[in-house]
Amino acid sequence: MPKKTGKVRLRRVTLTGFRGARQQIWVDFGPGCKSLVLFGDNGDGKSSFSDAIEWFYTDRIEYLHREGCGREDYFNRYMPSGEDATVELNFSNSGLDGRKTLHRKGGGSFSQTTPDFGAYISRSAGESPILRHHTMRQFVEKSKTKKLETVEEIIGFGIVAQTREALLQAANVLGKDQNLATLRGQREERKRDIAAALQATEFEDADVLKRADELATNCDPSLSVSDDAQFKAAVEALRQRSTAGERGKELSALDDAAEKATVLSELPPLLARARALVAGHNKLAQDQERVKAIALQKLYDAAIEAMTADWVALGECPVCRAPVDTDELVTSLRDQVGKIAALVARRDKVIQATKALSDRAASLARGLQALLDHSAGAVFLTDEAKTDIVELSAALSDTIETLGRMEASYDLVEALDAPDALLTIAGREDALHARIQERRKQLDQTDKERTFYERVHKLTKLLDDHVRYRKLTRQAEAYEAQIESLQKVHEMFEAAERSAVAQALAAISADVDDFMTFLHPDDEFEGVELIMTERRGIEFTLKYHGEEVSPPMKILSEAHLNSLGICMFIASARHFNKENGFLILDDVVTSFDSGHRRLLARLLSEKLPHTQILLFTHDDLWFDMLKSDLPANVWLFKELIRWTKERGVDLRDSPLTLRERIENCLATNDISGGANKCRTLIEETLKVKCEKLGVRALEFRTGRANDQRGAAELTDALTSHLKGNQSLRDKASKETFRYLRASELVTNIGSHHSALGATTLVRGDIDTALRDVDDFESLFVCTDCDTEPAIQFSAPHSELKQCRCGALQI
Amino acid sequence: MQKISSGKELCDEFFERLLKDTTVDSSITGLLHKLYSEGDLSKEIILERLEALRQNAQEDREG
């Protein structure tokens, strides 16, 4: 029995009113928490147990949920509508024993409420102890990205994915922060103004100080500027001097207003550029068919990759599997992808231009407001000019909003109107400058004064721009440094994650390879491995005749892929189910190659000696094999009794042999059940004889082809073999063969007709078939040594096989 | 059987290592370590705390 590993094992499972269980039903695994093989025909209710255990931990049954079934479907449908259902699990650690009730009124509740129990349930909910027939290939058939996500889920990397996403999203959001965009825009404006003042495209702080020194010295030779403090002091001194009297203050204000008015001349070209951009955007947006195709670009790329890498059969559509001309489809898809790429490139250009224009429009809007607010400006602006400026401000706001919508999506936006004020604004600006000039004349400003005030104004603006530029630069750099740091931390984290996943993959791969080799010792592939792919994903790879193959479906048969799914499940459970030491394999060998199913039982027994296994099957041949192969001190063998409305499913200890189970059927007058099992007995008897004598009918076949090999085929092969070596050619032996063929036919018809409700078989027919099997068996047994002729007792390549003593040769 | 780090172990080790990393700004590594340790490492809270860091730095500069 499973040794103690500290992991929790099942001691007893009890269901009442849950799924197939109408009355209370239980499996007691004994004090040693034995493993279990449970036999039951399809629809007999085996999965009631796996369903109950899944619900106990996770509060739902995933495969039923995916099929649209809700909690109402968890109740046994024949139980009274007011009754609750219960699932009770007893464990190797009795402190965790608990009963969960599925309430009719809604929800489920545990009988246990201790913190330890709650923590145990929570940890267990993250484990994967159940493999079902319809889910065993799911992992193998997932995309590379989904495989990685699944492995990360299996190995408990949920917190890793959350952390990675938090770091990445924070870096991305910070990079797109509107405040940062505004800071960058304002910084560029100041930079442009400083560069204009210096008549240079790029500059250093020293260049700014040098220009400040020139301007200050020209205003007052006693001033000099060689650092920030002197710069500020010089500006302060000159401003005080220029605004010492009322006349000076007004002249200074006039210069300032004239400077601010220059914004008006920038408006017409900016608004014209905005209208052109909107038109360009709308032209792109009108190509809706291609815009929608952008969403499909990944699918197109994947389809091209699948077809060019031969992942799908030539002449088959990779999506719908309909017949197509592969070359033509690849060419057409590449053409589409090229057109989409061109559209995206044009769109990128529009977005870049839009962003730049948005920043400038925002700056001009601020400039207009500053002009309206300026005391001197307001005095010299006429009411008509103010109305025009307000109209242009509104147009700028509309422009900024429209540009924002263009950045956000491909959708059509409303075309921008040219405001009427555009026609008159140039004249308003000229008039403003004329009035300012007129006032200067009235104040009797000399050329010397005008030059002085201009220089003071330039110096003041240079200081203001420089201080502001440095502040904006510091603020933007603070953002940029944080973004860079976050991106670096994200990269480091992703590297750590990849390393950990690679380590996990190596461990899983080692087991998967070991298990696959165990299940398929003679097959010509090796080195099964899960590897990280270039993009974020993982895939199986293996060596076939020494050549690397990936993905495995390129060469593996259905049965091999099933094996791979099972091996992956067992390997991941072995490494990552840290809480529970039991696994449930629910009907996973339905189409599993029959040549390998015995090896699966041995694999579970040998490779997972400390794990409690619950193996459910409807394959009675395999069930009998398991009873022979698996030690009874470690394994329980139970089978489901025919289901009734009154009781639901029920269990009993399984008889040891198929023959005993036939007797049980006959005892309960289940003639068709007996016929079915008798047919299986005949097939199994023939198969054993063929194996022992080396009859060439048991060569390797994959998947269902092997399962579907019938008794008639085996009888033909055996007869042909015996005819070839002239054995058992006497009349009595031939008659025995003939009777067995007849019994095979009778039991076959009986079991198949039972489905139609038209069987006419009676108990005597089955008794006769059993006698025929006995007679047939006796042909192959040596009366001296009581053994059958077999390869193991015979010389290599000998035509006739002999028994242990050699007296009987066949 | 080869020891494989759990997700929590990976994160614990990463943020401890990050704290000693000299190639990334210590104010950021300190912040991320603190948020992780307190179970507050989400996009929203990271952004909130980074903004506070920028504001504090600006206030310090402006005296």
pLDDT at A510: 92
Give the mutation candidate from A489, A511, A611 for the B interface (greatest B CB count, under 10 A): A489
Asked if B5 reaches chain A (Cβ–Cβ under 8 Å), the answer is yes
Average pLDDT of the residues in A85-109: 94
pLDDT at A215: 94
CA A629 – CA A649 distance, rounded (Å): 27
DSSP labels, A64-114: HHHTT--GGGGB-TTS-TT--EEEEEEESSGGG-EEEEE-TTS-EEES---
Q: Report the SS3 class of residue A686.
A: helix
Beginning with the edge strand found earlier in the chain, give each strand of the sheet holding A547-549 in spatial order.
A525-532, A538-544, A547-549
CA distances from A47 to A50, A56, A200 (A): 5, 14, 81
Look at A95-99, A120-124, A309-313, A601-605 and tell me which has the smallest mean pLDDT. Answer: A309-313
Average pLDDT of the residues in A48-63: 94
DSSP labels, A624-662: HHHHHHS-TTTEEEEEEEEEETTTEEEEEEPPSSHHHHH
pLDDT at A263: 87
pLDDT at A752: 58
Is B50 within the bounds of a domain? Answer: yes
Of B14, B36, B50, the CB nearest to A174: B50
Smallest CA–CA distance, residue B9 to chain A, in Å, is 10
- Reported pTM: 0.59
CA A719 – CA A696 distance, rounded (Å): 11
Average pLDDT of the residues in A784-805: 89
Structure tokens at A372: 């309206």
Pairing of strands A25-28, A582-586: unpaired
Contact B58 A475 (CB under 8 A): yes
At residue A50 the predicted structure's pLDDT band, cuts being 50, 70 and 90, is very high
pLDDT at A5: 61
Instruction: State the ipTM, two decimals.
Output: 0.97
Look at A86-95, A661-670, B18-27 and tell me which has the smallest mean pLDDT. Answer: A661-670
Specify whether the backbone of A11 is left (phi greater than 0), alpha (psi in -120 to 50) or beta. alpha
pLDDT in tens, A144-181: 888 888 888 777 788 898 999 999 999 999 998 888 98
At A65, phi and psi to the nearest 5? -60, -45
pLDDT at A709: 56
Q: Is the Cβ–Cβ distance between A587 and A9 less than 8 Å?
A: no
Q: Report the SS3 class of residue A615.
A: strand
Closest to A559 (Cα-Cα) out of A519, A603, A614, A618: A519
Structure tokens at A320: 């719908």
Smallest CA–CA distance, residue B10 to chain A, in Å, is 7
Asked if A478 reaches chain B (Cβ–Cβ under 8 Å), the answer is yes
Asked if A149 reaches chain B (Cβ–Cβ under 8 Å), the answer is no
Average pLDDT of the residues in A454-465: 92
Residues in chain A with CB shorter than 8 Å from the CB of B23 are 488
pLDDT in tens, A567-596: 999 998 888 888 999 999 998 886 555 667
Is B19 within the bounds of a domain? Answer: yes
pLDDT at A700: 42
Beginning with the edge strand found earlier in the chain, give each strand of the sheet holding A85-91 in spatial order.
A25-28, A10-16, A85-91, A98-102, A108-110
At residue B1 the predicted structure's pLDDT band, cuts being 50, 70 and 90, is low
Contact B61 A481 (CB under 8 A): no
pLDDT at A554: 84
CA A217 – CA A225 distance, rounded (Å): 8
pLDDT at A632: 79
Structure tokens at A648: 């639901």
Q: Where in chain A is the domain with CATH 3.40.50.300?
A: 10-129+577-653
Contact B28 A482 (CB under 8 A): yes
CA A685 – CA A714 distance, rounded (Å): 10
Interface list for B 27-56 with A (CB within 8 A): 28-29, 32, 36, 41-43, 46-47, 50, 53-54
Contact B7 A169 (CB under 8 A): no
At A762, phi and psi to the nearest 5? -125, 170
Structure tokens at A651: 């269990």
Residues in chain A with CB shorter than 8 Å from the CB of B38 are none
Residue A86 burial (CB count, 10 A): 19
CA atoms within 13 Å, Cβ hemisphere of A383: 0
Residues in chain B with CB shorter than 8 Å from the CB of A609 are none
Predicted confidence (pLDDT) at residue A763 exceeds the cutoff of 90:
no
Handedness of CA A251, A253, A257, A260 (dihedral sign): positive
DSSP labels, A580-603: B-EEEEESTTSSS-HHHHHHHHHH
CA distances from A732 to A728, A735, A781 (A): 9, 5, 15
| Partner residues linked to A612 by β-bridges | A582
pLDDT in tens, A657-685: 788 878 888 888 888 888 888 988 898 88
pLDDT in tens, A300-341: 888 888 787 667 777 778 877 778 888 888 888 888 888 888
Structure tokens at A436: 């300012």
Is B2 within the bounds of a domain? Answer: no
Asked if B22 reaches chain A (Cβ–Cβ under 8 Å), the answer is no
Smallest CA–CA distance, residue B2 to chain A, in Å, is 6
Instruction: Compute the residue count for chain B.
Output: 63
Contact A174 B10 (CB under 8 A): no
Asked if B1 reaches chain A (Cβ–Cβ under 8 Å), the answer is yes
pLDDT in tens, A200-252: 999 999 999 999 999 999 999 999 999 999 999 999 999 888 777 787 788 88
Asked if A170 reaches chain B (Cβ–Cβ under 8 Å), the answer is yes
DSSP structure class, residue A416: P
CA distances from A638 to A29, A627, A654 (A): 11, 10, 5
pLDDT at A291: 75
Q: CATH number for the A10-129+577-653 domain, one of 1.10.3720.10, 3.40.30.160, 2.30.110.10, 3.40.50.300?
A: 3.40.50.300
pLDDT in tens, A519-535: 888 788 889 998 888 77
Structure tokens at A449: 């004064």
At residue A462 the predicted structure's pLDDT band, cuts being 50, 70 and 90, is very high
pLDDT at A81: 86
pLDDT in tens, A421-446: 888 888 988 988 899 888 888 887 77
Structure tokens at A201: 């495209």
CA atoms within 13 Å, Cβ hemisphere of A1: 14
Contact B46 A576 (CB under 8 A): no
pLDDT at B16: 96
Predicted confidence (pLDDT) at residue A551 exceeds the cutoff of 80:
yes
Residues in chain B with CB shorter than 8 Å from the CB of A152 are 7
Residues in chain A with CB shorter than 8 Å from the CB of B18 are 489, 492
Q: Is the Cβ–Cβ distance between A380 and A432 less than 8 Å?
A: yes
Predicted confidence (pLDDT) at residue A482 exceeds the cutoff of 50:
yes
Residue with tokens 């599997």: A321
Q: What proportion of chain B, given as a percentage, has pLDDT over 70? A: 94
Smallest CA–CA distance, residue B11 to chain A, in Å, is 7
Q: What does the mean pLDDT of chain A come to?
A: 86
Residue B19's domain comprises 7-61
- Split into its structural domains, chain B has a count of 1
pLDDT at A698: 53
Residues in chain B with CB shorter than 8 Å from the CB of A481 are 25
Average pLDDT of the residues in A12-19: 96
Handedness of CA A760, A764, A765, A767 (dihedral sign): positive
Structure tokens at A246: 């009322």
Residues in chain A with CB shorter than 8 Å from the CB of B11 are 159-160, 163
Q: Is the Cβ–Cβ distance between A361 and A400 less than 8 Å?
A: yes
Chain-centroid distance, C-alpha A48? 29
Closest to A583 (Cα-Cα) out of A26, A35, A18: A35
Contact A169 B43 (CB under 8 A): yes
Average pLDDT of the residues in B19-30: 94
Residue with tokens 């449970």: A38
Tell me which chain B residue has its CA closest to the CA of residue A162: B42
Asked if B10 reaches chain A (Cβ–Cβ under 8 Å), the answer is yes
Contact B8 A159 (CB under 8 A): yes
CA A531 – CA A277 distance, rounded (Å): 48
Structure tokens at A715: 């009888």
Predicted confidence (pLDDT) at residue A552 exceeds the cutoff of 80:
yes
pLDDT at A701: 45
Of A158, A489, A507, the CB nearest to B7: A158
pLDDT at A464: 94
Pairing of strands A130-132, A582-586: parallel
pLDDT in tens, A189-199: 899 999 999 99
Of A160, A173, A174, the CB nearest to B10: A160
| Partner residues linked to A531 by β-bridges | A539
Look at A621-635, A649-663, A745-759, A796-810 and tell me which has the smallest mean pLDDT. Answer: A745-759
Q: Which residues contact A342 (CB under 8 A, 6 or more apart)?
A: none
Is B1 within the bounds of a domain? Answer: no
Is B38 within the bounds of a domain? Answer: yes
Contact B50 A482 (CB under 8 A): yes
Contact A507 B4 (CB under 8 A): yes
Smallest CA–CA distance, residue B3 to chain A, in Å, is 9
Smallest CA–CA distance, residue A503 to chain B, in Å, is 7
Of B14, B24, B53, the CB nearest to A496: B14
